[in-house]
Amino acid sequence: MKLGALGLPAYRTFSLEELEDATNNFDTTAFMGEGSQGQMYRGKLKDGTFVAIRCLKMKKSHSTQSFMNHVELISKLRYRHLVSSLGHCFECYLDDSSVSRIFLIFEYVPNGTLRSWISEGNARRTLTWAQRISAAIGIAKGIQFLHTGIMPGVYSNNLKITDILLDQNLVAKISSYNLPLLAESGGKVGHGTFALPKDPSNSTRVTYEDKVDIYDFGVILLEMIMGRPLKTRKEVQIFTNQLQAILGTDDATRRSITDPAVQNSCSDQSLKTMMEVCGRCMQKDPAERPSVEDVLWNLQFAAQVQDAWRTDSHSSEGSPGSPFPHLRVSFH
């Protein structure tokens, strides 16, 4: 099998028989869950490749042809920090050839959700501070790709930390993106999940669509810093207020609210930078939030100072201070 630059096979059309074989006729043992974007199954293709299969029941009014533009967009969802698409399959009604079900086939990501590595209390499975910064950079790059890499304005994410998956190398991948196709499918929006707070300026969502995703990213970043699952609006607000209150204080105070698992393994400057990025992302006024490009620049700075601090601490006793004391975070 010929693989592309991402180590993935070429996008293709799957037959229903292939998918039935891969899932043992969509057996309950292959069922992974159901959400606003259809039912998910885990399958194993004949070549041994594991895949994730999303099944959507469609309204009878849609023809196969009406989906072709959507399928073309889906076929381009191939990026290091997205759960990439591998193909699709249409199942049609016999009487009029309209689509009854559509199956979207994606790469299978084996290491679970980002939350399971951050805030679920598994001491044997937790990300280091450097790995958390790397994951944050990956998510931001995924957001940037969805906003600018295919067709600007098509994708809005409604991002949650449970939608971020980690692959075998702990690379972060966005697994949920709201495609126009999925919005038209009549799926059960929010089925079985709690919707974390959208930004307070919901009425300006159309105008500030990109900045809504930035707010969602800030919520994810807050959980990565605190190491606590944020499952209610009240929890998010409490910890956001706490973060904002200590941003201008000293290093020891900022470190005191950080996840104990990484409290002593992060440099003061990288922690301060991450907190400042988080705080700016969660500004109530969308116009005050940074662009995803500014977010990336500052996260990459945090990664650099963290790496420099780790190198320095290996060569001397050191402290969690900054190797670059005169540099400041800058948002444009």
Q: What is the pLDDT of residues 255-274, one digit of tens each?
A: 999 999 999 899 999 999 99
Least confident of 67-76, 186-195, 229-238, 323-332: 186-195
User: Among residues 247, 217, 255, 232, which one has the least CA distance to residue 135?
Assistant: 217
Helix (H) or strand (E) holding 31: strand 31-35
Domain residue limits, the chain = 12-107, 115-315
* Residue pair 281/295 in contact by the 8 Å Cβ criterion: yes
Determine phi and psi for 18, rounding to 5 degrees: -60, -45
Residue range 142-163: mean pLDDT, rounded: 77
Q: Top-level CATH class of 115-315?
A: mainly alpha
Cβ count within 10 A of residue 230: 23
Q: Is 94 a residue whose pLDDT tops 80?
A: no
pLDDT at 9: 86
Q: What percent of the chain has pLDDT over 90?
A: 48
Q: Top-level CATH class of 12-107?
A: alpha beta
Global pTM reads 0.82
DSSP calls for 63-117: BTGGGHHHHHHHHT---TTB--EEEEEEEE-TTT-BEEEEEEEEE--TT-BTGGG
Q: Distance from CA of residue 32 to its chain's centroid? A: 18
More confident residue, 198 or 203: 198
At residue 166, what is the residue type? L
β-partners of residue 85 are: 106
More confident residue, 51 or 207: 51
At residue 278, what is the residue type? C
More confident residue, 195 or 332: 332
pLDDT bin (cut points 50, 70, 90) of residue 292 is very high
Q: Is 225 a residue whose pLDDT tops 60?
A: yes
- Max avg pLDDT among 59-63, 129-133, 320-324: 129-133
User: If you search the block for the tokens 């899932």, which residue do you land on?
Assistant: 23
* Helices 209-226 & 233-246 angle (0-180, nearest 10): 80
Q: Is 19 a residue whose pLDDT tops 90?
A: yes
More confident residue, 97 or 168: 168
Q: What angle do CA 147, 152, 158 make, to 5 degrees?
A: 45
35-60 pLDDT, tens digit each: 766 789 999 999 999 999 999 887 76
Q: Is 306 a residue whose pLDDT tops 90?
A: yes
Residue range 204-208: mean pLDDT, rounded: 49
pLDDT at 74: 79
Q: Residue 225 and residue 261: Cα distance in Å, rounded?
A: 10
Q: Distance from CA of residue 161 to its chain's centroid? A: 6
Q: Which residues of 10-36 are buried (b: 16+ CB within 10 A; e: fewer)?
A: ebeebeeebbeebbeebeeebeeeebb
Q: Is 304 a residue whose pLDDT tops 80?
A: yes
pLDDT at 68: 74
Helix (H) or strand (E) holding 41: strand 38-44
In sign, the C-alpha dihedral spanning 257, 271, 247, 215 is negative
* Residue pair 323/267 in contact by the 8 Å Cβ criterion: yes
Q: Residue 73 and residue 130: Cα distance in Å, rounded?
A: 34
Edge-to-edge strand ranges of the sheet holding 50-57: 12-13, 85-92, 99-107, 50-57, 38-44, 31-35
Residue range 69-79: mean pLDDT, rounded: 80
pLDDT at 156: 60
pLDDT at 78: 86
State the chain's mean pLDDT as an integer. Answer: 81
pLDDT at 324: 47
User: If you search the block for the tokens 């072709």, which residue do you land on?
Assistant: 68
Q: Is 299 a residue whose pLDDT tops 70?
A: yes
Q: Residue 108 and residue 302: Cα distance in Å, rounded?
A: 30
Residue range 19-27: mean pLDDT, rounded: 95
Residue range 119-137: mean pLDDT, rounded: 87
154-175 pLDDT, tens digit each: 666 678 898 899 999 999 999 8
pLDDT at 190: 31
Cβ count within 10 A of residue 319: 12
Q: Is 8 a residue whose pLDDT tops 50?
A: yes
